[in-house]
Copies of this chain bind each other. A is one copy, B any other.
Amino acid sequence: MPAEDRRAWESVLAHIEADLLGGRLRPGDRLPGERALAVELGVGRSSVREAIRVLEVLGLIRTATGSGPSAGAIIVALPGGGMSALMRLQVAAQGFPVADVVKTRLVLEASVVTELAEATDRPDLAGPEELLDVMEARELTEAEFLALDAQFHLALAEASGNQVVTAMMAGLRTAIEGYARAGVPALVSWPATSARLMLEHRGILATITAADAEAARRAVQSHISGYYAETHLA
Protein backbone atom coordinates (compact mmCIF):
# COMPACT_ATOMS: atom_id res chain seq x y z
CA MET A 1 0.00 0.00 0.00
CA PRO A 2 1.55 3.30 -1.04
CA ALA A 3 1.80 6.08 1.46
CA GLU A 4 -1.47 7.93 1.75
CA ASP A 5 0.08 11.12 3.01
CA ARG A 6 0.54 12.64 -0.40
CA ARG A 7 -1.93 15.07 -1.81
CA ALA A 8 -5.03 13.48 -3.24
CA TRP A 9 -4.36 14.49 -6.81
CA GLU A 10 -0.86 13.04 -6.59
CA SER A 11 -2.25 9.69 -5.61
CA VAL A 12 -4.53 9.83 -8.62
CA LEU A 13 -1.58 10.60 -10.84
CA ALA A 14 0.42 7.79 -9.28
CA HIS A 15 -2.45 5.39 -9.78
CA ILE A 16 -2.75 6.20 -13.44
CA GLU A 17 1.01 6.04 -13.89
CA ALA A 18 1.03 2.61 -12.27
CA ASP A 19 -1.71 1.46 -14.63
CA LEU A 20 0.36 2.75 -17.49
CA LEU A 21 3.48 0.94 -16.38
CA GLY A 22 1.52 -2.19 -15.59
CA GLY A 23 0.02 -2.30 -19.05
CA ARG A 24 -3.49 -1.91 -17.74
CA LEU A 25 -3.71 1.32 -19.69
CA ARG A 26 -2.30 1.61 -23.17
CA PRO A 27 -2.35 4.32 -25.81
CA GLY A 28 -5.79 4.50 -27.33
CA ASP A 29 -7.56 3.42 -24.17
CA ARG A 30 -10.15 5.53 -22.44
CA LEU A 31 -9.75 6.49 -18.83
CA PRO A 32 -12.68 5.79 -16.54
CA GLY A 33 -14.96 8.77 -16.13
CA GLU A 34 -13.96 11.41 -13.63
CA ARG A 35 -16.79 10.54 -11.30
CA ALA A 36 -16.05 6.82 -11.43
CA LEU A 37 -12.35 7.40 -10.83
CA ALA A 38 -13.13 9.60 -7.89
CA VAL A 39 -15.26 6.93 -6.26
CA GLU A 40 -12.76 4.20 -7.06
CA LEU A 41 -9.84 6.04 -5.55
CA GLY A 42 -11.77 7.51 -2.67
CA VAL A 43 -11.07 11.13 -3.56
CA GLY A 44 -13.17 14.02 -4.73
CA ARG A 45 -13.83 14.66 -8.36
CA SER A 46 -11.89 17.91 -8.22
CA SER A 47 -8.77 16.03 -7.24
CA VAL A 48 -9.24 13.65 -10.12
CA ARG A 49 -9.64 16.60 -12.39
CA GLU A 50 -6.36 18.16 -11.26
CA ALA A 51 -4.54 14.96 -12.11
CA ILE A 52 -6.33 14.70 -15.45
CA ARG A 53 -5.38 18.27 -16.19
CA VAL A 54 -1.73 17.54 -15.56
CA LEU A 55 -1.81 14.53 -17.83
CA GLU A 56 -3.48 16.58 -20.52
CA VAL A 57 -0.92 19.38 -20.40
CA LEU A 58 1.85 16.83 -20.45
CA GLY A 59 0.42 15.54 -23.70
CA LEU A 60 -0.47 12.11 -22.38
CA ILE A 61 -4.19 12.30 -22.77
CA ARG A 62 -6.77 14.17 -24.77
CA THR A 63 -10.12 15.06 -23.32
CA ALA A 64 -13.36 15.67 -25.16
CA THR A 65 -16.87 16.33 -24.02
CA GLY A 66 -19.94 14.55 -25.20
CA SER A 67 -20.34 10.83 -25.45
CA GLY A 68 -19.29 8.09 -27.82
CA PRO A 69 -15.95 6.51 -28.60
CA SER A 70 -14.12 9.79 -29.13
CA ALA A 71 -15.30 11.39 -25.92
CA GLY A 72 -13.75 11.21 -22.50
CA ALA A 73 -10.08 11.14 -21.59
CA ILE A 74 -8.07 9.11 -24.07
CA ILE A 75 -4.43 8.13 -23.77
CA VAL A 76 -2.54 9.57 -26.69
CA ALA A 77 1.07 9.87 -25.58
CA LEU A 78 1.98 12.27 -28.31
CA PRO A 79 5.59 13.22 -27.72
CA GLY A 80 6.40 16.86 -27.58
CA GLY A 81 2.97 18.08 -26.75
CA GLY A 82 3.83 18.68 -23.14
CA MET A 83 7.45 19.48 -23.68
CA SER A 84 6.41 22.46 -25.74
CA ALA A 85 4.29 23.92 -22.97
CA LEU A 86 7.00 23.19 -20.49
CA MET A 87 9.76 24.91 -22.38
CA ARG A 88 7.56 27.83 -23.29
CA LEU A 89 6.62 28.52 -19.70
CA GLN A 90 10.10 27.83 -18.45
CA VAL A 91 11.54 30.39 -20.83
CA ALA A 92 8.73 32.80 -19.95
CA ALA A 93 9.73 32.52 -16.30
CA GLN A 94 13.30 33.32 -17.28
CA GLY A 95 14.27 29.81 -16.36
CA PHE A 96 16.50 29.30 -19.35
CA PRO A 97 19.09 31.69 -20.77
CA VAL A 98 18.86 32.10 -24.51
CA ALA A 99 22.50 31.16 -24.92
CA ASP A 100 21.80 27.78 -23.37
CA VAL A 101 18.83 27.27 -25.65
CA VAL A 102 20.97 28.02 -28.68
CA LYS A 103 23.77 25.79 -27.47
CA THR A 104 21.41 22.92 -26.84
CA ARG A 105 19.83 23.41 -30.19
CA LEU A 106 23.25 23.25 -31.77
CA VAL A 107 24.00 19.94 -30.12
CA LEU A 108 20.66 18.35 -30.93
CA GLU A 109 20.53 19.50 -34.52
CA ALA A 110 24.09 18.48 -35.21
CA SER A 111 23.15 15.02 -34.00
CA VAL A 112 20.04 15.01 -36.14
CA VAL A 113 21.75 15.82 -39.40
CA THR A 114 24.62 13.49 -38.62
CA GLU A 115 22.21 10.65 -38.12
CA LEU A 116 20.33 11.54 -41.27
CA ALA A 117 23.50 11.70 -43.31
CA GLU A 118 24.81 8.43 -41.94
CA ALA A 119 21.55 6.52 -42.29
CA THR A 120 22.01 3.40 -44.38
CA ASP A 121 18.71 3.81 -46.17
CA ARG A 122 18.09 7.22 -47.61
CA PRO A 123 15.88 9.08 -45.14
CA ASP A 124 12.61 10.57 -46.26
CA LEU A 125 13.13 14.30 -46.57
CA ALA A 126 9.84 15.11 -48.21
CA GLY A 127 8.59 16.99 -45.18
CA PRO A 128 11.54 19.36 -44.83
CA GLU A 129 11.69 19.89 -48.58
CA GLU A 130 8.08 20.89 -48.83
CA LEU A 131 8.65 23.49 -46.16
CA LEU A 132 11.57 24.92 -48.09
CA ASP A 133 9.44 25.06 -51.20
CA VAL A 134 6.85 27.05 -49.34
CA MET A 135 9.46 29.39 -47.92
CA GLU A 136 10.90 30.07 -51.35
CA ALA A 137 7.60 30.32 -53.16
CA ARG A 138 6.84 33.90 -52.26
CA GLU A 139 7.76 36.85 -50.13
CA LEU A 140 6.96 36.13 -46.49
CA THR A 141 6.79 38.35 -43.46
CA GLU A 142 9.58 37.91 -40.99
CA ALA A 143 7.30 36.12 -38.55
CA GLU A 144 6.00 33.77 -41.22
CA PHE A 145 9.47 33.01 -42.44
CA LEU A 146 10.86 32.29 -39.01
CA ALA A 147 7.89 30.12 -38.10
CA LEU A 148 8.49 28.01 -41.18
CA ASP A 149 12.19 28.05 -40.41
CA ALA A 150 11.64 26.56 -36.98
CA GLN A 151 9.22 24.11 -38.51
CA PHE A 152 11.85 23.05 -41.01
CA HIS A 153 14.31 22.23 -38.27
CA LEU A 154 11.65 20.34 -36.42
CA ALA A 155 10.85 18.39 -39.56
CA LEU A 156 14.49 17.39 -39.81
CA ALA A 157 14.35 16.02 -36.30
CA GLU A 158 11.20 14.10 -37.16
CA ALA A 159 12.87 12.66 -40.22
CA SER A 160 15.70 11.39 -38.06
CA GLY A 161 13.19 9.21 -36.27
CA ASN A 162 14.46 9.92 -32.76
CA GLN A 163 11.31 10.64 -30.83
CA VAL A 164 13.05 12.02 -27.79
CA VAL A 165 15.09 14.51 -29.75
CA THR A 166 12.03 15.44 -31.75
CA ALA A 167 10.11 16.11 -28.57
CA MET A 168 12.90 18.25 -27.23
CA MET A 169 13.16 20.18 -30.45
CA ALA A 170 9.41 20.68 -30.42
CA GLY A 171 9.78 22.04 -26.94
CA LEU A 172 12.54 24.37 -27.96
CA ARG A 173 10.65 25.53 -31.02
CA THR A 174 8.73 28.30 -29.34
CA ALA A 175 11.85 29.51 -27.61
CA ILE A 176 13.76 29.41 -30.88
CA GLU A 177 11.12 31.35 -32.73
CA GLY A 178 11.12 33.84 -29.91
CA TYR A 179 14.79 34.70 -29.93
CA ALA A 180 14.93 34.56 -33.71
CA ARG A 181 12.20 37.18 -33.99
CA ALA A 182 13.72 39.25 -31.25
CA GLY A 183 16.96 39.37 -33.20
CA VAL A 184 15.53 40.58 -36.51
CA PRO A 185 15.84 44.31 -35.74
CA ALA A 186 19.55 43.82 -35.16
CA LEU A 187 20.06 42.54 -38.68
CA VAL A 188 21.65 44.76 -41.31
CA SER A 189 19.32 43.51 -43.99
CA TRP A 190 16.47 41.11 -43.49
CA PRO A 191 16.11 40.26 -47.20
CA ALA A 192 19.79 39.43 -47.40
CA THR A 193 19.70 37.33 -44.27
CA SER A 194 16.57 35.43 -45.22
CA ALA A 195 18.02 34.71 -48.62
CA ARG A 196 21.16 33.38 -47.00
CA LEU A 197 19.15 31.27 -44.59
CA MET A 198 17.24 29.71 -47.46
CA LEU A 199 20.44 28.87 -49.25
CA GLU A 200 21.84 27.33 -46.12
CA HIS A 201 18.72 25.24 -45.70
CA ARG A 202 19.15 23.82 -49.17
CA GLY A 203 22.80 23.28 -48.39
CA ILE A 204 21.98 21.26 -45.31
CA LEU A 205 19.63 19.03 -47.24
CA ALA A 206 22.26 18.61 -49.95
CA THR A 207 24.91 17.44 -47.51
CA ILE A 208 22.45 14.95 -46.07
CA THR A 209 21.54 13.63 -49.47
CA ALA A 210 25.24 13.38 -50.23
CA ALA A 211 25.64 11.37 -47.03
CA ASP A 212 28.39 13.72 -45.93
CA ALA A 213 27.89 13.75 -42.19
CA GLU A 214 30.82 15.98 -41.43
CA ALA A 215 29.71 18.62 -43.91
CA ALA A 216 26.15 18.38 -42.64
CA ARG A 217 27.27 19.03 -39.11
CA ARG A 218 29.36 22.01 -40.15
CA ALA A 219 26.52 23.37 -42.24
CA VAL A 220 23.94 23.21 -39.50
CA GLN A 221 26.31 24.62 -36.92
CA SER A 222 27.29 27.61 -38.99
CA HIS A 223 23.64 28.08 -39.93
CA ILE A 224 22.51 28.32 -36.33
CA SER A 225 25.43 30.03 -34.69
CA GLY A 226 25.78 32.35 -37.68
CA TYR A 227 22.32 33.76 -37.21
CA TYR A 228 22.77 33.94 -33.47
CA ALA A 229 26.02 35.86 -33.81
CA GLU A 230 24.56 38.14 -36.45
CA THR A 231 21.72 39.15 -34.17
CA HIS A 232 23.95 39.71 -31.16
CA LEU A 233 26.63 41.93 -32.64
CA ALA A 234 25.18 45.26 -31.59
Q: Within the assembled complex, what's the spacing in Å between the Cα atoms of A20 and B178?
A: 14
Contact of A100 among B58, B97, B165 (CB under 8 A): B165
Is residue A164 contacting chain B, with contact meaning CB distance below 8 A? yes
Of the stretches A46-54, A184-192, A218-226, the one at the interface is A46-54
- For residue A108, CB closer than 8 A to chain B, the reply is yes
Other-chain contact of A104, B27, B78, B168 (Cβ < 8 Å): B168
Main SS of the interface on chain A? helix
A2 at the interface (CB under 8 A from B): no
Write out, one digit per residue, whether chain A residues 75-97 have a CB within 8 A of any chain B CB (1) or not (0).
10111001101101110111111
Copies of this protein in the assembly total: 2
Residues on B with C-beta less than 8 A from A93 are: 20, 25, 27, 60, 75, 77
Q: Are the C-beta atoms of A89 and B164 separated by less than 8 Å?
A: no
- CB-defined contacts of A103 to chain B, threshold 8 Å: 162, 164-165
Given contacts A17-B92, A104-B168, 19 further A-B contacts (CB under 8 A): A17-B89, A20-B92, A27-B94, A53-B54, A54-B54, A57-B58, A58-B90, A60-B93, A60-B95, A75-B93, A77-B90, A77-B93, A83-B83, A90-B167, A96-B167, A100-B165, A104-B164, A107-B108, A107-B165
* Selected A-B contacts with CB under 8 Å, 15 pairs: A26-B94, A27-B94, A27-B95, A59-B86, A60-B93, A77-B95, A82-B86, A82-B90, A95-B163, A96-B167, A100-B162, A100-B163, A103-B165, A107-B107, A107-B108
